[in-house]
C-alpha cells in the first residue's frame, strides 16, 4: 500500500481540505489523520461511518502510596519536572510527571510505583459497506508522546487497510516528533504552503526535515492569489533547489465544502476545482515514479 502524506510547516494552510479532495479524487479506501493534537479530518466523514474507539496509554507515570509514604521528601527533592507536591501528604501530578522513575528508584519507603496513564484515544471508522476505513486519534490536553500516538494511528491504518492500494494521510503541522512519526513508510510527502513569510520559512524547515529521511517531496501553493509576489518566490525557490512543484490553488471560500471526502463538488464547480485536480494528478505521477530518493 502506497502512502501519500500531506503536510505543512504551519497550521492553517489548508492541508486537511486538500487531503479530503485527494481522497475523493483518488477513490482511496484508506485514510488517516495524524494530527493527533488537533484532529479535524473526521469532520469530513459523512454519517455512513461506524466508529469505535480505544484507550491509548502513553508513558507510565509515578504514583505515591500514602499508606507507605514516610514523608521524607526525597521525591520532591529529586523531581526536576515539578510534578511532586507537598502538603499533608506527598502527591504526584500525572500531567507533569515525565515517567523517568527516578523518584521510585530512590524512595526509601518503596512507596512509589509506576502506573499506566491514559493519554488519549484511538479511533477507527469503517464505512457501512466495510470498504473504506479511517484511522485517527486525539491526545489528551497536556499529554506527551504525540509521536508514539501517531505511530499507533499508522499501525492501525495498515492493520485494517485490507487490499487498499493507496492511503491518503493528513499529517500534523510543524517539524517535530508527530511529523517524523508520520513520515515512517510514507512514499511521498506533499507540502501545502501559503504565500506568506511564515509559510515560506516553515516550508523550508519541512523540506530540510524530509531530506534527512530521504522522503520524496513536492510542494503546492494554496491561496496563491492572496500574495502573488510571495507565490512567485516559492516557485523560484523550488526551481533553484530542485524541489518538485505541483501547482497552485486560488483562494475560494467554497473550497472546504466542495472538497469533502464524501461530497461531490458543486455542479457549478468551485474556482479551485481544476487547480486541485491538476495538483492531484501531478502528485500521483510523481509518487509513481521509481527514483532513488524514494
pLDDT score, position 257: 63
Q: Give one word for 225, left, alpha or beta, with left for phi > 0 and alpha for psi -120 to 50.
A: alpha
CA distance 284 to 294: 14
Residues recorded for the chain: 294
pLDDT at 262 over 60: no
User: With 50 as the cut, is the pLDDT of residue 111 above it?
Assistant: yes
pTM of the model as a whole: 0.86
CA nearest to 28, candidates 108, 134, 160:
134
pLDDT of residue 264: 43
pLDDT given for residue 267 in this prediction: 38
pLDDT in tens, 178-218: 999 999 999 999 999 999 999 999 999 999 999 888 889 99
Q: Is the pLDDT of residue 141 over 90?
A: no
Pairing of strands 166-173, 2-8: parallel
74-94: burial string, b at 16+ Cβ within 10 Å, e else:
bbeeebeeebbeeeeebbbeb
Strand 118-127 and strand 133-139: the pairing is antiparallel
Distance CA 135, CA 104 (A): 36
**More confident call, 212 vs 100:** 100
Least confident of 45-49, 93-97, 218-222, 283-287: 45-49
What the block records as the C-alpha cell of 275 is 487547480
- pLDDT at 100 (0 to 100): 94
Of 73, 77, 76, whose CA–CA distance to 109 is shortest?
73
In angstroms, rounded to a whole number, what is the distance separating the alpha carbons of residues 164 and 213? Answer: 25
- Mean pLDDT for the stretch of residues 28-50: 88
Give which of 266, 268, 250 is closest to 258, Cα–Cα: 266
% of residues, the chain, pLDDT over 90: 71
With a cut of 70, say whether residue 230 has pLDDT above it: yes
Say if CB 9 and CB 193 are below 8 A apart: yes
For residue 145, the surrounding DSSP H or E stretch is none
- Res. 260 pLDDT band, cuts 50 70 90: low
| Domains assigned to the chain | 2-57+122-288 (3.40.50.300), 61-115 (3.30.70.20)
**pLDDT band at 259, cuts 50/70/90?**
low
- What's the confidence (pLDDT) of residue 254? 72
As a whole number of angstroms, the distance between CA 110 and CA 161 comes to: 46
Rounded Cα distance, 136 and 51, in Å: 10
Mean predicted lDDT score pLDDT of the chain: 90
Q: How confident is the model at residue 121 (pLDDT cuts 50, 70, 90)?
A: very high
Of 285, 135, 150, nearest in space to 216 by CA: 285
Amino acid at each position: 500500500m502506497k502512502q501519500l502524506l500531506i503536510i505543512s510547516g504551519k497550521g492553517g494552510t489548508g492541508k486537511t481540505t486538500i487531503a479530503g479532495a485527494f481522497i475523493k479524487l483518488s477513490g482511496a479506501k484508506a485514510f488517516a489523520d495524524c494530527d493527533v493534537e488537533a484532529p479535524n479530518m473526521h469532520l469530513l466523514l459523512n454519517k455512513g461511518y461506524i466508529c469505535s474507539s480505544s484507550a491509548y496509554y502513553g508513558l507510565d507515570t509515578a504514583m505515591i502510596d500514602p499508606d507507605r509514604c514516610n514523608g521524607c521528601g526525597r521525591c520532591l527533592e529529586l523531581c526536576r519536572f515539578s510534578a511532586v507536591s507537598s502538603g499533608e501528604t506527598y502527591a504526584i501530578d500525572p500531567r507533569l510527571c515525565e515517567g523517568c522513575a527516578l523518584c521510585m528508584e530512590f524512595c526509601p519507603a518503596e512507596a512509589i510505583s509506576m502506573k499506566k496513564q491514559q493519554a488519549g484515544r484511538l479511533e477507527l471508522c469503517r464505512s457501512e459497506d466495510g470498504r473504506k476505513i479511517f484511522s485517527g486519534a486525539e491526545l489528551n490536553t497536556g499529554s506527551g508522546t504525540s509521536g508514539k500516538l501517531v505511530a499507533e494511528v499508522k499501525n492501525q491504518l495498515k492493520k485494517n487497510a485490507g487490499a487498499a492500494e493507496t492511503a491518503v494521510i493528513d499529517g500534523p503541522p510543524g517539524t517535530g516528533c508527530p511529523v517524523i512519526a508520520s513520515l515512517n513508510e510514507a512514499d511521498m510527502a506533499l507540502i501545502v504552503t501559503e504565500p506568506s513569510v511564515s509559510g515560506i520559512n516553515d516550508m523550508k524547515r519541512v523540506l530540510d526535515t524530509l531530506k534527512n529521511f530521504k522522503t520524496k517531496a513536492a510542494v503546492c501553493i494554496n491561496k496563491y492569489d492572496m500574495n502573488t509576489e510571495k507565490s512567485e518566490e516559492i516557485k523560484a525557490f523550488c526551481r533553484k533547489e530542485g524541489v518538485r512543484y505541483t501547482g497552485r490553488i486560488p483562494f475560494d471560500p467554497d473550497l472546504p465544502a466542495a472538497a469533502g471526502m464524501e461530497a461531490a463538488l458543486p455542479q457549478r464547480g468551485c474556482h479551485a476545482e481544476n487547480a486541485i485536480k491538476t495538483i492531484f494528478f501531478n502528485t500521483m505521477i510523481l509518487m509513481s515514479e521509481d527514483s532513488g530518493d524514494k
